[in-house]
Amino acid sequence: MDTLFRLVSLQSSDQQSSFKSSRTSSSSRSSKANHHLFHQPFQNREEEKYREECGNNYHVCVDEDFSSSSSSKHLQPHPSTAATPTPSTAATTTTASTAHVLFELADFSFPPDLNIDFASSSSAAAGGGGGGWAAQLLLECARAVAARDSQRVQQLMWMLNELASPYGDTEQKVASYFLQALFARLTSAGPRTLLTLAAASDRTCSFDSTRRTALRFQELSPWSSFGHVAANGAILESFLDAAGGGGSPQPQRLHILDLSNTFCTQWPTLLEALATRSSDDTPHLSITTVVSSASPSAAVQRVMKEIGQRMEKFARLMGVPFKFNVIHHAGDLSELDLDRLDLREGGGALLAVNCVNALHSVSPAGSRRDLFINALRRLQPLIVTVVEEESDLQAASGGDGGGEEGEEGFLKVFRESLRFFSAYFDSLEESFPRTSNERLALERAAGRAVVDLVACPAAESAERRETAAGWSLRMRAAGFAPAAFSEDVADDVRALLRRYREGWSMRSAGEADDPGGAAPGIFLAWKDQPVVWASAWKP
């Protein structure tokens, strides 16, 4: 595991095994030595117990080491350990007693009520959202965290640590990233962990790596291209209706406000469609892309600049009059002053707003989301396309979604994140080849999102997704009415899905029950679980 494995006591002194470790300043990668402290006692005394309780699968797992680093260190049993802990990086500051006191057998007895079914395959789990061993263990651990049962937490985290790996199969990966997030929560190091991880990924971020990841992802999985195709179709059709019906023979101008995190990979196909539609009067297209992040990074700026250059060149090649703007906004998207952006180009252009995974990055605190959507409404756009991931990750307990979440809220968010990201990881696993740097980058990004969800306060979170129904309510409240996708667009989407592997399907959102039309738009489903929602709205 990559993160520092530190435990803090959740309850104060009445615990026998209160174990405090001091914070080490070493980087996360040097933490393997810590595992000795936990591993040694178990190697000899507990193995038989595990064998009985858990079945062969687990036993096999214990012997192999899935962690990529320090495998040799792990498996060297030291029978007489108790007296000689190896605190190479950790300096325990426990009261007097050395490590051995902390590892009384009784304290680490395997919880008898834990009945993990390791044999169930993870693919079944992904569909059901909770069937695999990782899900079970993680949920148990989360419950223990919520109940502040530190002993149990330690036991479970130990197990998870043994089994998890970011380089293994889906179960192991899910276990690894969620464990990292739980750990960050326990040590109240959520925001800091997030910063560290973000800085680490920023170091390797470049135009080339970003491009490769994004394009490969779109080539192998319809997760992002689903939203793109639907949105492009809706935008193009509404523009043509408005421009053509308007009657003026001159080519119209279309301005797109692009709030998305997909690095403009949506637009080349739109440019091509504009170019091939009519040879005579290709409309003028301007795109204003807003990249917002809590902490602006130079790498992202460089990447966007390069993207801008390529887009312009491509537009020139296509023969589409084109203008491209990038806005780097630091802070919450709701703070962006939309009026200063000259979105209508002095009144000559029709405006379309494209929100791909942007709305959930607005903080759920207060009524920011509603305010933001209202601001969009005030722009009087021709159409607003909303593509979001389908998952209810709001900490609902507080009512306004901000501030501290109660234990209930935490468990709910945890369970939901587990379900959603299990599906995500599962789809990545089945779409990409076994070893893929691009998939690793995507998984790490998801891991950061999980840390944000599990260990960081909701008010500062940029990952609090809502369901289609939730967003629909907000959109309607702001004065938008749903615009259904035309048959052509639906056909395009279906044709798109046919180009990918099995497992993906499209579902129309408004199928069920609700006569009020709870959720317009369409869902992309992975193994029949809706994961991405695409919709279009008009004022």
Q: Which is nearer to another protein, 181 or 496 (CB)?
A: 496
The reply to whether 361 sits near another protein by the rule CB under 8 A is no
Contacting another protein (CB under 8 A), which of 280, 337, 502, 511?
280
From candidates 48, 312, 408, 514, binder to another protein by CB under 8 A: 312
Q: Which residues contact 276 (CB under 8 A, 6 or more apart)?
A: none
Distance CA 238, CA 253 (A): 13
Q: Is residue 356 within 8 Å of 259, Cβ to Cβ?
A: yes
Hey, is 394 helix, strand or coil?
coil
Q: d(Cα 323, Cα 338) in Å, to the nearest integer? A: 18
Judged by CB, which is closer to another protein: 348, or 479? 348
Of 82, 195, 318, 473, the one binding another protein (CB under 8 A) is: 318
CA distance 443 to 2: 14
Show the binding pattern over residues 156-195: x = contacts another protein (CB under 8 A), - = does not: ----------------------------------------
Calpha distance 202→447 (Å, rounded): 15
Q: Are 256 and 287 in contact (CB under 8 A)?
A: yes
For residues 319 and 280, give the distance between their C-alpha atoms in angstroms, rounded to a whole number. Answer: 11
On whether the CB atoms of residues 268 and 229 are closer than 8 A, the answer is no
Residues 282-301 that bind another protein (CB under 8 A): 282, 284, 286
Structure tokens at 214: 């994004």
Q: Is 340 in the site for another protein (CB under 8 A)?
A: no
Residue from 307, 451, 462, 509 in contact with another protein (CB under 8 A): 307
Nearer to another protein by Cβ, of 136 and 262: the residue is 262
Burial class of 372 by CB neighbour count within 10 A (0 to 12, 13 to 18, 19+) = buried
Regarding 484 and contact with another protein (CB under 8 A), the answer is no
Instruction: Pick the piece of the chain touching another protein (CB under 8 A) from 73-81, 195-203, 274-282, 431-439.
Output: 274-282
Interface with another protein, residue 321, by CB under 8 A: yes
We find the least distance from the C-beta atom of residue 263 to another protein, in angstroms, to be 9
Q: Is 344 in the site for another protein (CB under 8 A)?
A: no
Q: Does 233 bind another protein (CB under 8 A)?
A: yes
Query: How far, in Å, CA of 224 to CA of 290, rounded?
Result: 18
61, 198, 271, 287: which one binds another protein (CB under 8 A): 271
Q: What element of type H or E holds 181?
A: helix 170-186
- Please, what's the b/e burial string for 193-202 (b: 16 or more CB within 10 A of its CB; e: otherwise)? bbebbbeebe
Instruction: Quote the CA–CA distance of 525 and 507 in Å, as a whole number.
Output: 7
Q: Contacts with another protein: how many residues (CB under 8 A)?
A: 57
Report the distance separating Cα 95 and Cα 381, nearest Å: 65
The reply to whether 313 sits near another protein by the rule CB under 8 A is: yes
- Site membership for another protein, residue 219 (CB under 8 A): yes
In whole angstroms, the minimum distance from the beta carbon of 274 to another protein comes to 8
The gap from C-alpha 380 to its chain's centroid, in whole angstroms, comes to 31
> What is the nearest approach in angstroms of another protein to the Cβ of residue 382?
16
User: Is residue 397 exposed (0-12), middle (13-18) or buried (19+ Cβ within 10 Å)?
Assistant: middle
Binding mask of the shown chain, residues 496 to 515, with x at each position contacting another protein by CB under 8 A: x-xx----------------
The span of 38-46, 101-109, 278-286, 461-469 binding another protein (CB under 8 A) equals: 278-286
Site residues, another protein (CB under 8 A)? 206-208, 211, 215, 218-219, 225, 229, 232-233, 236-237, 240, 265, 267-269, 271-273, 275-280, 282, 284, 286, 302, 305-307, 309-323, 488, 491-492, 494-496, 498-499
